[in-house]
Structure 1
Amino acid sequence: MASRRHERQAETRLQVMRLIAQNPEMSTRQIAERAGISNGSAYYVLTALVEKGFVKLGNFASNPRKGQYAHLLTPKGIREKSLLTHSFIERKREEFAALQAEIEALEREAGLAGEAAPFPQTGPKETARD
């Protein structure tokens, strides 16, 4: 099984690739904001994706801001995104199954097996007003 750090890195790469696929014109800053990572991390991930051949940079010929680039997934990048998505789904299914097993064990332990567990009260009970 991969380390937790490796899993987080793969999830970040997948998230960045999904953002690029949705909007190739998104800036590095926008990618960072949407992915919940720092600008430096977004730049690092994008640079790594370009170096690996998963993303290609292209600039907008008609854009007056010549420094703005489009991040385009290459065929190799589309394949990698697909593999990362598959791994992500499998990992989440495993986590889900483990959580279900833990919940069932806790329900048996608490004597709630086979019953629908009531939702805990979060505040004082409301009283009927006339």
Structure 2
Amino acid sequence: MSSKRTKLQEDTHFRVLRLLQENPEMSQRELAEAVGVSVGGIHYVLNALIDKGLVKLGNFTAAEDKRRYAYVLTAKGISEKAAITRRFLLRKMEEFEALRAEIEALSAEIDDDAAPSGTSHRVCVIGRLGQGMS
């Protein structure tokens, strides 16, 4: 089983790869803001992705400042992004199912404590959750 730190790192890599695939010309500052980490953190992540061969630097030709770079996913980067996406989705689905079970348990607990008249709040809460699922 992966550690929490490894999962967070992989989630960050997933988000960065996804953003760069959509817009390779994002600046480090824009990436940092979109991912929710510091600019220094994004710099570290980008260097790690470059070292792994998942991202390569290209010139950002439209910029007046020729020092700007585009961060382009390599073929290996696109393949790894697909694998990370699968793992990310599975992890989020597991988290969702655990949260759903906790909500059902808490709703049942509320029903047991607060509804001697026979009314059920649990159906209402779970029903609202299911509405956003389609």
Q: Give the TM-score normalised by structure 1.
A: 0.82
Greater fraction helix:
2
The alignment's C-alpha RMSD in Å is: 1.6
Which residue matches 1:122? none
Q: Which of 71-80 and 107-116 deviates more? A: 107-116
Structure 2: runs of 5 or more not aligned: 113-119, 126-134
SS class of match (1:65): coil
Q: Does 1:66 align with 2:60?
A: no
Q: How many pairs does the alignment contain?
A: 117
- Distance in 2 of aligned mates of 1:57 and 1:12: 19
Taking the TM superposition and a 5 Å limit, the aligned residue runs for 1:49-88 are 49-61=49-61, 63-88=63-88
Taking the TM superposition and a 5 Å limit, the aligned residue runs for 1:1-130 are 1-61=1-61, 63-110=63-110, 111=112, 112=120, 115-117=123-125
2:104–2:122: 8 Å Cα contact kept in structure 1?
no
Indicate the structure (1 or 2) with the bigger Cα radius of gyration. Answer: 1
- Distance in 2 of aligned mates of 1:68 and 1:108: 56
SS class of match (1:67): coil
1:104–1:113: 8 Å Cα contact kept in structure 2?
no
SS class of match (2:123): coil
Deviation string for 1:68-122 (max 9, x for gaps)?
A: 11100001000111111111110011011111111122222232475324xxxxx
- Distance in 1 of aligned mates of 2:61 and 2:31: 22
Runs of 4+ in 1 over 2 A off after TM superposition: 60-64, 107-115
- Distance in 2 of aligned mates of 1:24 and 1:45: 15
